[in-house]
């Protein structure tokens, strides 16, 4: 294949994404769905791109033409890896689904945070630095729908997604009826759609429910929502250092909470994407969206789903330049515009979003919410 003609194509696409006029919906729709026959998918071994969930800002959407699915082969080509660089449910549920609000002790100690071999350098994964932490307690699993419902019932709390009236959902999870009503998508990742009526009670929009997913992680919670829950529970969000230390489960210099092999002895250890992102998820690990919060083996500290399943908010503001100095109980910068999230989600795949490593990181604005974003809490004392 003659690759000399491909670069100008991609350069033109990226330029269009950056300079597009949001007031011209017809032009935008055409740019989103028109793909040259000469365009080809970028190499599947690229590890520096994103599923776009770090781009879920409410001012980053553009108009689309719903006649063409954004998960079609054409869309997968145009928005390939190269182009993307840079309800009360208290009645009728199964009581067996209830997950107790358990925490485990994470012992005081030191560890090597980050990596000197970053897979995604622009995310600020390095340099590796020695960090000392005091002991703390951490939820053994992500906060579940059951637990968040208890919070809402007790406080009448209204999430930011409910206040805004919409939240971001991966298109592959939406019903055709919902998709037909949507006229916008995230410019940098058009498989992400702002869905009216999507919130923690309705993860895929108004025609969905959590009735059969009470033991799944709560989704569509902003940083502020997560912080409010933790405060109500007498806890707090973990710092990025605490989260990464806990993720590693006592192991040094390992990629994942369990080691360096993604599938030890052929077993799945996390809820991730299998297949071709974003058009095909084979669900080889048993799930094509979230799984129950205590699925898959726990790590060395007894923590479940530290990577995969749902992204998890931390308390830190986002920064990409770190000191290599030895640190004690770091809390990140004092201010910022985005908050750090860790762990990746069920949408992560090595070819697109290799962020299900303990050292990996990403960010969102504090008011962001999405169908793959949740949290867990920590505390100085066991609750």
Check if the beta carbon of residue 372 is closer than 8 Å to that of residue 170.
yes
Ranges of residues in the chain with a pLDDT under 50 are: 1-48, 67-99
To which H or E segment does residue 25 belong? Answer: helix 25-33
Helix/strand/coil percent split, the chain, to 5: 25, 15, 60
Angle of CA points 206, 375, 229, to nearest 5°: 80
Sign of the alpha-carbon torsion through 188, 190, 195, 199: negative
pLDDT of residue 222: 98
For 33, phi then psi, to 5°, come to -115, -10
Check if the beta carbon of residue 330 is closer than 8 Å to that of residue 241.
yes
pLDDT of residue 89: 31
How far does Cα 204 stand from its chain's mean position? Answer: 15
Half-sphere exposure of 23 (CA within 13 A, CB side): 0
pLDDT of residue 92: 32
How far does Cα 22 stand from its chain's mean position? Answer: 26
Check if the beta carbon of residue 81 is closer than 8 Å to that of residue 49.
yes
Stated pTM of the model? 0.80
Q: Which of 237, 244, 218 is nearest to 299 (CA)?
A: 244
Check if the beta carbon of residue 373 is closer than 8 Å to that of residue 170.
no
pLDDT of residue 74: 38
Quote the CA–CA distance of 348 and 327 in Å, as a whole number. Answer: 30
How many separate helices (H) and strands (E) can be counted in the chain? 8, 16
Q: Which of 80, 94, 72, 8 is nearest to 48 (CA)?
A: 80
pLDDT of residue 31: 29
> Look-up: residue for tokens 């969930």?
53
Sign of the alpha-carbon torsion through 157, 317, 242, 361: positive
pLDDT of residue 59: 67
DSSP 199: B
């Amino acid at each position: 294949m003659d690759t000399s003609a491909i670069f100008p194509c991609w350069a033109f696409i990226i330029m269009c994404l950056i300079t597009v006029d949001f007031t011209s919906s017809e032009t935008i729709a055409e740019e989103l769905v028109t793909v040259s026959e000469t365009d080809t998918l970028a190499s599947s071994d690229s590890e520096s791109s994103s599923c776009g969930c770090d781009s879920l800002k409410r001012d980053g959407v553009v108009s689309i033409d719903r006649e063409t699915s954004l998960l079609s082969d054409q869309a997968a080509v145009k928005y390939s890896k190269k182009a993307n660089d840079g309800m009360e449910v208290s009645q009728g549920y199964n009581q067996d689904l209830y997950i107790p609000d358990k925490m485990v002790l994470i012992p005081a100690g030191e560890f090597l945070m980050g990596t000197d071999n970053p897979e995604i350098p622009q995310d600020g994964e390095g340099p590796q630095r020695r960090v000392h932490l005091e002991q703390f307690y951490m939820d053994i699993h992500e906060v579940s729908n059951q637990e968040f419902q208890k919070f809402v019932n007790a406080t009448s709390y209204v999430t930011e997604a409910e206040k805004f009236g919409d939240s971001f959902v991966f298109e592959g999870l939406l019903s055709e009826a919902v998709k037909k009503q949507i006229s916008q998508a995230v410019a940098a990742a058009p498989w992400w759609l702002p869905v009216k009526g999507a919130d923690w009670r309705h993860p895929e929009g108004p025609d969905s429910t959590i009735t059969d997913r009470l033991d799944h992680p709560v989704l569509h919670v902003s940083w502020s929502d997560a912080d409010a829950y933790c405060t109500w529970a007498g806890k707090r969000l973990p710092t990025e250092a605490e989260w990464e230390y806990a993720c590693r489960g006592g192991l040094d210099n390992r990629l994942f909470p369990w080691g360096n092999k993604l599938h030890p002895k052929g077993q799945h250890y996390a809820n991730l994407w299998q297949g071709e992102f974003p058009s095909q998820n084979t669900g080889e690990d048993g799930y094509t969206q979230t799984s129950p919060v205590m699925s898959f083996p726990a790590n060395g500290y007894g923590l479940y789903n530290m990577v995969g399943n749902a992204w998890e908010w931390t308390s830190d503001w986002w920064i990409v330049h770190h000191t290599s100095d030895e640190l004690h109980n770091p809390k990140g910068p004092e201010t910022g515009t985005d908050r750090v999230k860790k762990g990746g989600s069920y949408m992560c795949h090595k070819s697109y979003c290799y962020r299900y490593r303990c050292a990996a990181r990403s960010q969102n604005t504090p008011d962001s919410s999405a169908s793959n974003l949740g949290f867990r809490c920590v505390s100085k004392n066991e609750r």
